[in-house]
Amino acid sequence: MNAERTAITHADPASTPKVSPRVVGPFKAEVRDVNFYYGQFHALKNVSMPFVDKRVTALIGPSGCGKTTLLRCFNRMHDLYPGNRYEGEIILHPDQINIISPKVEPLEMRMRIGMVFQKPNPFSKSIFENVAFGLRLQGETNRRVLADKVEAALKSAAIWDETKDRLQKGARDLSGGQQQRLCIARAIATEPEILLFDEPTSALDPIATSRIEDLIDSLRGRFTILIVTHNLQQAGRIADYTALMYKGELVEMDKTVAMFEKPSFKLTEDYLTGRFG
């Protein structure tokens, strides 16, 4: 690609906002000037972006760009390991709480913001107990209510038909794809405000992947969803909004269709066309 065309097609990074004006509220969460450090390593650099309420936002970018780091800020997973440091604000609407403030209790955030991991990680307990764990943590002891909510979560996660006859059987005997849907049921059982997905299909085969994608699509409108993915087609298929990160910075955030059709910056176009990453 020659320099002249670049100049015509792409905006000037210095004067154009990274977050496109097409990304409009209501917002569920707003990241404001977040910096994150693993010890000395500066992993997130002045990241600012909003997340639209009850919509799916994909975080994409090459390995090590900070997308998973940003995701794990939302439920304060970094607090589990020593030497990590947050700066800035992640404002959770409508309460206006700064999620990463030291004054905010990580346990509370983790009960309000659910997460699904890269590798399916159900507990070595029964299917029922896997889903009920979050409800029990939130003080639910009524057996009827527990049973109803577990059933509802399993139905929402499109795994009820496969598990209804074996709720007391071990969750680890399920297939990988089923385990991942069980983990989604576990995360949504407590009706969290935000759902975080950290590359939820990278350990699964294509058929299981497509079932998870259908499932995420069906959760749109109920939850605000953030999904980290390495798979650009996946972002294109399921995300309403997409944010590209590179070397700890936000490159560009826009409506997915707009970004994939006409990226504002050359860096975005290079990434989307597979020129790096």
Partner 1 sequence: MDLRKLVERRKLTDRLFAALGICCVLIALLTLVVLMGDLARQGLSRIDWQFMTSFPSRAAARAGILSAWVGSLMIMLVTVITAVPLGVAAGVYLEEYAPKNRLTTFIEINISNLAGVPSIVYGLMALGLFIYQLGMNRSTLAGGLTLACLILPIVIVATRESLRTIPSNIREAAFAIGASKWQVVSHHLLPYSAGGIATGVIIATSRALGETAPLITIGALTFIAFLPPPPVMSEPPFVSFQWLHDEFTVLPIQMFNWVSRPQPEFQVNAAAAGLVLVAMTLSLNGAAIWLRYRMRKRIKW
Q: How many residues bind partner 1 (CB under 8 A)?
A: 26
Q: Is 108 in the site for partner 1 (CB under 8 A)?
A: yes
Smallest distance, partner 1 to C-beta of residue 110, A: 4
Nearer to partner 1, 170 or 277 (CB): 170
Residue 141's alpha-carbon distances to 110, 121, 198, in angstroms, are 20, 24, 30
Q: Is 273 in the site for partner 1 (CB under 8 A)?
A: no
Single out the residue of 128, 133, 92, 129 nearest to residue 112, CA to CA: 92
Smallest distance, partner 1 to C-beta of residue 179, A: 11
Q: Which stretch binds partner 1 (CB under 8 A): 93-101, 116-124, 208-216, 246-254?
A: 116-124
How far apart CA 184 and CA 216 sit, in angstroms, is 9
Nearer to partner 1, 176 or 221 (CB): 176
Please give the single-letter amino acid code of residue 131.
V
Q: Is 119 in the site for partner 1 (CB under 8 A)?
A: yes
Q: Which of 7, 24, 107, 145 binds partner 1 (CB under 8 A)?
A: 107
How far apart CA 77 and CA 49 sit, in angstroms, is 20
In degrees and rounded to multiples of 5, residue 108 shows phi and psi of -65, -45
How far apart CA 106 and CA 86 sit, in angstroms, is 13
**Cross-strand partners of 58:** 227, 242
**Cross-strand partners of 226:** 57, 196
Q: Is 201 in the site for partner 1 (CB under 8 A)?
A: no
Residues 51-80 that bind partner 1 (CB under 8 A): 75, 77, 80
Smallest distance, partner 1 to C-beta of residue 167, A: 17
Which residues have C-beta within 8 Å of that of residue 50, sequence separation ≥ 6?
Answer: 19, 23, 25, 27, 29, 30, 31
**E strand or H helix at 49, and its extent?**
strand 41-52
Residues 123-162 that bind partner 1 (CB under 8 A): 123-124, 133-134, 137-138
Q: Is 115 in the site for partner 1 (CB under 8 A)?
A: yes
Single out the residue of 13, 5, 3, 8 nearest to residue 265, CA to CA: 13
Nearer to partner 1, 119 or 166 (CB): 119
Q: Which of 88, 114, 177, 263 binds partner 1 (CB under 8 A)?
A: 114
Residues 174-193 that bind partner 1 (CB under 8 A): 183, 186-187, 190
- Residue ranges that bind partner 1, judged by CB under 8 A: 75, 77, 80, 82, 107-108, 110-111, 114-115, 117, 119, 121-124, 133-134, 137-138, 170, 172, 183, 186-187, 190
